[in-house]
């Protein structure tokens, strides 16, 4: 895997190109990039055919170990790749550790292993066990095993342990990676740990920066889950800026979690390249439709999302967004989706997911265009206004 960028600034919004994947050598992505969030390798609420109706463009799927670990034995027995097993072989995939849409249980870490939580409970994963899974899954890109169990309230002792354990786990993962014929052409990402402690971040980066890594994951800022959308930019800016200023400019920088769009823009302004789409999934699960990119309704111009469950939409026969070209907006009304929600029809979540994924993909397309044409700051200011209330209320996680 290769990453190219013309930007020489360490801490600034930048356009880059991600390509050189061994399995699909003609696939290329432009950054800032949105990873498509999956559960068990599938986009939640959507069949593969419906997802292709949402977007025909090449996509990079985000696959978490916690949502797929129960598949490991079958994948090994069939001697097939994860992409083939879930019938998503035409998509590039990135394997991460925890599911960003669900709060990760804190604690339970051991000296040379971490705990991964699936729907059946806890699994203890060592570096050797993890790399065995990676060799079975054959992802195009994956995150090294790490201890990211820190947040703004973590003690200095907990942060120090997270950094030391992550260094040990990365060393073990990288050793197996470099000796494996099946993996040496795959991309491995190094997690930067340290919580909100700047000195601990420096210690983590000092170890990582000269390693043969495809990029870095800025980890340890939260414990995943819906509450991440309420973390204010001001809370994380100093840490992220300090971290990125110490990282090489020629490697991708990834930030997982359901950050709200205003915070995503602030992180892009600091130089983060890749995010995941757990945010539109979380919004869908809350029976909301994203509207922060809609400009057609002045009465709702400052609204970032609408709760489709509200009574006012029972007789509203307009689409979610009049200018939206998604399948849901082109064929269905707010009233119909409101009805589906209250009758608990599965189609309600399907239509919301179609709209929210489309909306978020359009968001990233506009981000890239705004960086290219020099209007990023204006676009950022406009979106920030719609999330002013959310960003002013910092939530501790």
Binding residues: 324, 326, 329, 355
Task: Locate 263 and state its tokens.
Answer: 């915070």
Check: CB of residue 92 under 8 Å from CB of residue 81.
no
3-state SS, 225-240, equals CHHHHHCCHHHHHHHH
Cα of first residue to Cα of last residue in the chain, in angstroms, is 34
Residue with tokens 């034995």: 73
Helix (H) or strand (E) holding 245: helix 233-246
Question: To 5 degrees, how large is the angle CA 5–CA 11–CA 12?
Answer: 65
Question: What's the rounded Cα separation, in Å, for the pair 300 and 292?
Answer: 9
Residue 158 three-state SS: helix
Q: Helices in 13-57 by DSSP H: which ranges?
A: 48-54
Binding residues for Zn(2+) are 324, 326, 329, 355
In 3D space, the residue among 99, 117, 81, 104 whose CA is nearest the CA of residue 37 turns out to be 99
Check: CB of residue 243 under 8 Å from CB of residue 218.
yes
């Amino acid at each position: 895997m290769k990453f190219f960028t013309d930007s020489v600034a360490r801490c600034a919004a930048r356009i880059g190109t991600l390509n050189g994947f061994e399995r699909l050598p003609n696939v290329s992505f432009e950054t800032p990039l949105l990873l498509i969030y999956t559960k068990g390798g599938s986009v939640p609420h959507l069949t593969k055919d419906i997802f292709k109706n949402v977007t025909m463009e090449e996509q990079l799927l985000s696959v978490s170990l916690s949502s797929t670990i129960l598949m490991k034995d079958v994948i090994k027995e069939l001697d097939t790749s994860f992409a083939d097993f879930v019938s998503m072989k035409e998509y590039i995939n990135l394997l991460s550790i925890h599911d960003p849409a669900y709060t990760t249980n804190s604690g339970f870490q051991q000296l040379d292993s971490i705990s991964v939580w699936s729907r059946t409970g806890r699994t203890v994963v060592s570096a050797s066990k993890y790399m065995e899974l990676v060799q079975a899954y054959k992802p195009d890109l994956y995150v090294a095993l790490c201890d990211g169990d820190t947040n703004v309230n973590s003690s200095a002792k907990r942060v120090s342990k997270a950094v030391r354990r992550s260094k040990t786990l990365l060393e073990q993962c990288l050793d197996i990676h470099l000796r494996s014929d099946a993996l040496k052409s795959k991309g491995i990402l190094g997690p930067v740990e340290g919580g909100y402690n700047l000195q601990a971040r420096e210690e983590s980066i000092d170890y990582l920066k000269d390693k043969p890594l495809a990029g870095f994951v800025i980890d340890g800022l939260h414990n995943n889950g819906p509450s991440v959308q309420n973390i204010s930019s001001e809370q994380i800016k100093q840490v992220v800026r300090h971290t990125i200023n110490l990282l090489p400019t020629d490697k991708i920088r990834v930030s997982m979690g359901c950050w709200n769009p205003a915070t995503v823009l602030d992180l892009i302004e600091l130089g983060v390249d890749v995010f995941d789409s757990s945010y539109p999934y979380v919004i869908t699960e809350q029976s909301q439709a994203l509207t922060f990119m809609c400009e057609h309704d002045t009465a709702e111009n400052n609204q970032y999302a609408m709760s489709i469950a509200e009574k006012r939409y029972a007789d509203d026969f307009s689409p979610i967004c009049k200018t939206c070209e998604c399948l849901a907006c082109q064929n269905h009304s707010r009233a119909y989706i409101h009805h589906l929600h209250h009758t608990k029809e599965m189609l309600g979540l399907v239509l919301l997911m179609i709209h929210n994924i489309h909306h978020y993909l359009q968001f990233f397309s506009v981000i890239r265009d705004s960086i290219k044409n020099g209007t990023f700051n204006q676009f950022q200011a406009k979106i920030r206004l719609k999330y002013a209330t959310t960003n002013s209320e910092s939530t501790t996680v």
